[in-house]
Copies of this chain bind each other. A is one copy, B any other.
Amino acid sequence: MAPIARPTYAVIARTANVSEATVSRVLNGDDSVHPERARRVHEAVEKLGYKKNRVASALASGRTGLIAVVIDDDLSVFSDPFWGTVTSGVSRVLMENGLQTVLMVSPVGSADGGVAQYLKSGEVDGAIFFALHSDALVTKLQKQGLPLVITGTPHSSNDVAFVDTDNFGGGYAATRHLMNQGAKKVAIITGDIGTTAAKQRLDGYLQVYRESGHVPAKGLICEGDYSFESGQQHAKKLIAAHPDVDGIFASNDLMAMGAMSVLQDMGIDVPGKVRVVGFDDSLIAQTARPALTTIRQDVVALGEAAGTLMIAQLNGQDVEPVILPTDLVVRASA
């Protein structure tokens, strides 16, 4: 267990015959150092296999090089590849800029829980939030001057940087496509309505109805929770209450799959009798039979945008929210 003793500035300075201050300057890219002395430092570093101690560096400089990615939820969130993909996009951008990603998967709960403690303890230079259920912690951290980025639209309108998919546009496009295909009675199974994304997708759906001069019949708007099971349950209820439903827009692919499985088990043809559109364009949309028509969002780009906004803030730049466009991907189900 005894770690091998590693060299420090003192050793490098002695070997290169310069002061520690000069070592520090060279290693931090200060180009005011005389080239010859810089060369000697680099030589010593090379020869001794020196690695800077980032903890000491962090304490002295006040910068840790660590960015927290906080997923405000429990483990279940990762069974959906969505957040994993976003995280990988974030992580890639941060690493390119010499920053590391600290992953925290935990219900954020209050503004004083374990996550909050950690973020306030000075160990990270910034924090990126996913699936935020409340803005309380964000507001608090913002006051402390911690650079923040939210993935998804914030609930309140404090001016925090955020990135999001055009959920309204996606919901609109999905519903419009169903109607264009000839569906007259289109239902929606929403996601967890506590999330702004679910609300915005619903708004897109309602907008299409509004433009068509109609109002969705009672019972056509079903509050799901993004799970396969909730897709199944609501599809069953829908068919029972509205046997003439001919279009279903589910706010994610998983619920769409749940709905399709129920329809198929009941012998109802998709898309012949009922057309189904999902949201996300995840893997299951491609592998489904019939393949699922869905709204694609660029999840990696979402993560990269979040990382980029963080970098910009660390560089003291002003940042604007980023909203990424969606694409309708037409397959067999609608």
Chain A residues at the B interface, C-beta cutoff of 8 Å: 1-4, 6, 51-56, 58-59, 64, 66, 69, 75, 77-81, 83-85, 87-89, 91-92, 95, 100-106, 114, 117-118, 120-123, 143-147, 228, 254, 257-258, 261, 264, 283-284, 286-289, 300, 316
Chosen A-B contacts, 6 in total, with CB atoms closer than 8 Å, are A59-B59, A78-B88, A87-B103, A91-B103, A100-B104, A101-B104
Q: Is the CB of A69 within 8 A of B264?
A: no
Q: Is the CB of A75 within 8 A of B88?
A: yes
B residues within 8 A CB of A146?
3
- CB of A116 to closest CB in B, whole Å: 9
Q: Is the CB of A145 within 8 A of B101?
A: no
Q: Is the CB of B4 within 8 A of A144?
A: yes
B residues within 8 A CB of A64?
55
Copies per assembly: 2
B residues within 8 A CB of A81?
78-81, 84
Known: A51-B122, A78-B84. 9 other contacts (CB 8 A): A4-B143, A54-B118, A75-B88, A78-B87, A79-B84, A84-B87, A100-B104, A100-B118, A264-B289
- Which secondary structure dominates where chain A touches chain B? helix
Q: Is the CB of B287 within 8 A of A228?
A: yes
With A75-B89, A78-B88, A144-B3 as known contacts, state yes or no: A53 contacts B102, CB within 8 Å. no
With A81-B84, A283-B79, A283-B228 as known contacts, state yes or no: A95 contacts B91, CB within 8 Å. no
B residues within 8 A CB of A56?
59
B residues within 8 A CB of A104?
91, 95, 100-101
- CB of A192 to closest CB in B, whole Å: 18
- CB of A285 to closest CB in B, whole Å: 10
- CB of A263 to closest CB in B, whole Å: 11
Kindly report which residue of chain B lies nearest to residue A287, judged by CB atoms: B257
B residues within 8 A CB of A95?
104-106, 114
Nearest 7 A/B pairs, CB to CB: A84-B84, A78-B84, A78-B88, A81-B81, A3-B145, A103-B103, A75-B88
B residues within 8 A CB of A228?
283, 286-287
- CB of A159 to closest CB in B, whole Å: 14
| A3, A75, A91, A258 — most chain B CB neighbours (10 Å) | A75
B residues within 8 A CB of A106?
95
With A228-B283, A257-B287, A284-B284 as known contacts, state yes or no: A103 contacts B105, CB within 8 Å. no
Report which of B66, B88, B114, B144 forms a contact with A105, defined as CB distance below 8 A: B88
Kindly report which residue of chain B lies nearest to residue A122, judged by CB atoms: B53
Q: Is the CB of B289 within 8 A of A261?
A: yes
B residues within 8 A CB of A3?
144-146
Kindly report which residue of chain B lies nearest to residue A2, judged by CB atoms: B145
B residues within 8 A CB of A66?
102
B residues within 8 A CB of A289?
261, 264, 289
With A2-B145, A80-B81 as known contacts, state yes or no: A103 contacts B51, CB within 8 Å. no
Q: Is the CB of A53 within 8 A of B121?
A: yes
Q: Is the CB of A55 within 8 A of B53?
A: no
Report which of B85, B122, B300, B316 forms a contact with A54, defined as CB distance below 8 A: B122
Report which of B58, B79, B283, B287 forms a contact with A261, defined as CB distance below 8 A: B287
